[in-house]
Structure 1
Amino acid sequence: MFKTNITVLQQNITVQYCFPDHNSSCRRMVKTGPAYIFLIIVLSCVSVCAVFLNLLVIISISHFKQLHTPANLPILSLAMADLFVGLFLMPVKILEIADSCWYFGKVGCAIYPIFNFLFVSASLCSLIFIAVDRYVAVSDPLLYSTRISVCKMSLTIILGWSFSLFYNIVYLHFNDHFLQSRAGCYGECIIFLKHSWIIADLVILFVTPCSVIIISYSIILKIARHQVKVVRAMTNGITNSSETKAVKTMGIVIFVYLACWIPFYVSSLLADSFTSVSIVWTVFAWLMYINSSVNPLIYAIFYSWFRESVKYIVTCRIFEFSSPRINLFPEHF
C-alpha cells in the first residue's frame, strides 16, 4: 500500500515535455479532468457546426444561379471567413486547451496569427458590407441596381480581404510578433499585444464597424417603419408582421455582434499588455469564434431561399443537371 502511494505521487510530479528529444523543450500540461473533456467536446461541436452551416451557405449561393446576386456576395464572403474559422482556427485552439504545446514550428507560429486575425476581421468586413448593401437597397431601391452590381460588390469584398490582410501583418509587426527572440522554450507560440495597439485595434476593428452596422440598421429600421405606416394608411390600418420581423432580426444581429466582441476589448483595455496564453484571451476569443457559428443562423436561415436550398443539398438533388436553375422563390410567381 505504501509503495503504491509513492508510485502515484511520482506519477503526479513527473515532468512531461512537448519535445522530449529537444534540450529547450517546453513543459507539457495535459488536461484530462472531466471538466476539460466536456469543454473540449462542446468546443469541437461548435467547430463542426461552424463548418457545416457555413458550408451549406457557400454551396447554396455558389450552386444556384438564382442566388448569384450582389446582395448575396457579402453573405458568401461572411460564410467563407466563418468556414475558415471553424475549419482551421477552432481546432488549433482546441488542441491548445487540451495540450499546452505548439506542434507547428516557428514558421507556423509566425503565420497562424495572420490567418487568425485575417478570418476574424474579414468576417467583420463582410458584416459591414451586408449592412451597407441593405441600407442602399432600402433607402434608394430604384437606383440599387445601378449603384450595386456583382462586379462592384466583388471588388469591394476583395479590397476588404486585402485590407484585413495588410492591417493584420502591420499589426503583428509592430507588436514584435515576427521577432524570433520573443520566442521562449521550444514548443511555445505566444502573441504579445501592446496596450497602444490594443486601443488602435479597438477603434479600427470594433468602434468603427460597430458604428457603421448600428447606424445602418437604425436607418433601415426607421425607413421600414415609415413604409409600414404608408402601407397601413393605404390598407385602412391592416397590420403587417414585416415590421415585427425586421425589429427582431436587426435586434438579434446587433445583440450577437456586441455580445461576442465587447468582452474581449473591454478586458483587453484593463491590462497594460495582453498575451494569447491568458485565460481572458482564451475565453473571450472563443466568444468571437462562436460568432462564426451563429452568423449563418442569422444571415441565412432566416431566408426562405436558404431553407429551400438546404432541402436540395441534403437530398442530393443538387447533382441533377437542371438543379442550378431551380426556382427557390416559388411564392414570387
Structure 2
Amino acid sequence: MSNWGVTDAYNQTIQYCFPNNNFSCTKNTKPGAEYIIVYIFISAVSMFTVFLNLLVIISISHFKQLHTPTNALILSLAVADLIVGLILTPVQGIKLIEPCWYFGEIFCSIFPLIFYVVITASLGNLIIISVDRYIAVHDPLRYPTRVNNNRAVLSIVVNWLFSCIYSFIILYDSLFYLEGKHTCIGECQLFIKLGYIITDVFVTLVTPCCVIVSLYLKICFVAKHQAKHLNSVTDKKARSEKKAARTLGVVVIVYLLCWIPYYIAALTLGQDSGDSLVINIMYWIVCMNSCMNPLIYAMFYRWFRISAKYILTLKIFEPSSEYFNLFPEEKL
C-alpha cells in the first residue's frame, strides 16, 4: 500500500514528506494561493537583500575613494548580510510554510551553524562600526593614526573568528549529538539548552545593545557640544557628526525591533519549542535585519547613490572608472 497520503476526519489531506519511506514525517497540505504568495514574498526579500548588499560590496571594492577603514567594516557587514540573503533568508522562509526538511541531514546540521556564525558576525560588525564612528566624532584629529586599514582588517578577522568559535560552542550538542532528536525522516529541529539561550541573550542582545546605545549617547553629547561652537570651518564637520549620530540611532531602533521579539519567544517557549512556527517567524525577522543594514549604512550616504548609478549604468567598465569622483561637493 502506498503511503502517499491519508484523509483525516475533517477531510484534510495529510501527506508524507517522502511518500516511499515508511519512516517519513507527515505534513498537512495548504492552499495553493498561500504557497504562491509566501514564496513570492520570500523571493522578493531575498533578492532585494542580495541586490543591495552586492551594490555595497562592488562599490567599496571597485572605487578607490571608498578604500577607507570605515568602509572596510561596512564591506564586512555587507558580506555577512549577502550570505543571509543568499542562504539564510530563503531557507528560513521556506521553513515557514514547508513542514518538511528536504535539504538532507548534513545541511540540517550545518544550517544552524551558518545561521549563528553569519548573524553573530553581522552583530559584531555593527559594534565595530559604532566604535569606529565614536572615535571619528570624539577624537577626529587622532582618528587617522588610531584607525587605519590594517587595524580595520584585523578587527574584521577577529570578529569572524569569534563568531565561528562562539557559534560552534553554542551549537556543539546539536552538531554532534543528534541521536534520538529527530522522530521521523523529513524533520529538522534545532535544540539548544536553556542555559545556552540565556548566554546567547547576553552575548548577542544585552552586550551589543549596551555598547551601541552608550556609544550613540556619547556621539549625541559630543555633537550637541560641538554644535554650540560652530563656525564656517567646522559647520560641515558638525553636520557630518550629526549624520553619524542619526544613523546610529536608526541602527539601534532597527536592531532592537529585529532581535527582541526572537529572544522573547526563545525564552518564553524554551528549547522544547523545537522548530515551532513562532520561532521560525522570529528567525526570519532576524534575517530581515540584513535587508535593512545596507539601507541604513549605505543608502543614507550620497556616495552610495552615485556609485550605484555608475554600477547600474555599467560605467564601472570604462577605463579608470575606479578613480571616478564619488564626492562631487569636494571638487574644486
TM-score when scaled to structure 2? 0.90
- Partner-residue secondary structure (3-state), 1:253: helix
Provide the residue aligned with 1:261 in structure 2.
259
- Partner-residue secondary structure (3-state), 2:170: helix
Unpaired runs of at least 5, structure 1: 1-6
CA positional deviation for 1:312: 0.3
Provide the residue aligned with 1:147 in structure 2.
146
Aligned amino acid, residue 17 of structure 1:
Y
Describe the superposition over 1:278-331 as per-residue Cα deviations: whole angstroms up to 9, x where unpaired.
122122112111111111000000111101101100100001121011111121
Describe the superposition over 1:163-204 as per-residue Cα deviations: whole angstroms up to 9, x where unpaired.
111111110114x44323122211111001222111100001
Among all aligned residue pairs of Structure 1 and Structure 2, give the percentage whose two residues are the same amino acid: 48
- Partner-residue secondary structure (3-state), 1:142: coil
CA contact (8 A) 2:13 2:29 kept: no
Aligned amino acid, residue 164 of structure 2:
L
| Residue 312 in structure 1 maps to residue 300 in structure 2 | no
Supply the distance in 1 between the matched residues of 2:39 and 2:159 (Cα, whole angstroms).
33
| Residue 42 in structure 1 maps to residue 51 in structure 2 | no
CA positional deviation for 1:268: 1.8
Provide the residue aligned with 2:194 in structure 1.
195
CA contact (8 A) 1:31 1:99 kept: no
CA positional deviation for 1:38: 2.3
CA positional deviation for 1:217: 1.3
Provide the residue aligned with 1:249 in structure 2.
247
Provide the residue aligned with 1:214 in structure 2.
213
CA contact (8 A) 1:257 1:291 kept: yes
CA contact (8 A) 1:81 1:123 kept: yes
CA positional deviation for 1:103: 1.4
CA contact (8 A) 2:56 2:304 kept: yes
Task: Provide closer, same or farther for how the CA distance between residues 271 and 28 of structure 1 changes in structure 2, counting only shifts above 3 A.
Answer: closer
- Partner-residue secondary structure (3-state), 1:20: coil
Aligned amino acid, residue 136 of structure 2:
A
Supply the distance in 1 between the matched residues of 2:14 and 2:7 (Cα, whole angstroms).
14
Pairwise CA RMSD of aligned residues?
A: 2.4
Provide the residue aligned with 2:130 in structure 1.
131
Supply the distance in 2 between the matched residues of 1:251 and 1:274 (Cα, whole angstroms).
36
Task: Provide closer, same or farther for how the CA distance between residues 39 and 272 of structure 1 changes in structure 2, counting only shifts above 3 A.
Answer: same
Provide the residue aligned with 1:4 in structure 2.
none
Task: Provide closer, same or farther for how the CA distance between residues 75 and 166 of structure 1 changes in structure 2, counting only shifts above 3 A.
Answer: same
Task: Provide closer, same or farther for how the CA distance between residues 30 and 88 of structure 1 changes in structure 2, counting only shifts above 3 A.
Answer: farther
- Partner-residue secondary structure (3-state), 1:16: strand
Aligned amino acid, residue 37 of structure 1:
I
Describe the superposition over 1:6-34 as per-residue Cα deviations: whole angstroms up to 9, x where unpaired.
x9989954442222222211113343353
CA contact (8 A) 1:73 1:153 kept: yes
Task: Provide closer, same or farther for how the CA distance between residues 211 and 324 of structure 1 changes in structure 2, counting only shifts above 3 A.
Answer: same
| Residue 293 in structure 1 maps to residue 312 in structure 2 | no
Provide the residue aligned with 2:269 in structure 1.
271
Provide the residue aligned with 2:323 in structure 1.
325
Aligned amino acid, residue 313 of structure 1:
I
Provide the residue aligned with 1:3 in structure 2.
none
Aligned amino acid, residue 200 of structure 1:
T
Task: Provide closer, same or farther for how the CA distance between residues 161 and 242 of structure 1 changes in structure 2, counting only shifts above 3 A.
Answer: closer
Task: Report the count of equivalent residues.
Answer: 322
Describe the superposition over 1:130-176 as per-residue Cα deviations: whole angstroms up to 9, x where unpaired.
100001111111111111111111111111011111111110114x4
Provide the residue aligned with 2:98 in structure 1.
99
CA positional deviation for 1:273: 2.2
Task: Provide closer, same or farther for how the CA distance between residues 28 and 216 of structure 1 changes in structure 2, counting only shifts above 3 A.
Answer: same
Provide the residue aligned with 1:73 in structure 2.
72
CA contact (8 A) 2:170 2:192 kept: no
Supply the distance in 1 between the matched residues of 2:10 and 2:267 (Cα, whole angstroms).
41
Provide the residue aligned with 1:173 in structure 2.
172
CA contact (8 A) 1:28 1:100 kept: yes
TM-score when scaled to structure 1? 0.90
Aligned amino acid, residue 327 of structure 1:
N
CA contact (8 A) 1:206 1:261 kept: yes
Supply the distance in 2 between the matched residues of 1:30 and 1:153 (Cα, whole angstroms).
50
Task: Provide closer, same or farther for how the CA distance between residues 16 and 8 of structure 1 changes in structure 2, counting only shifts above 3 A.
Answer: closer
Supply the distance in 1 between the matched residues of 2:316 and 2:272 (Cα, whole angstroms).
47
Provide the residue aligned with 2:20 in structure 1.
21
Describe the superposition over 1:195-227 as per-residue Cα deviations: whole angstroms up to 9, x where unpaired.
211110000111111111111111111111111
Supply the distance in 1 between the matched residues of 2:229 and 2:272 (Cα, whole angstroms).
52
Aligned amino acid, residue 222 of structure 1:
F
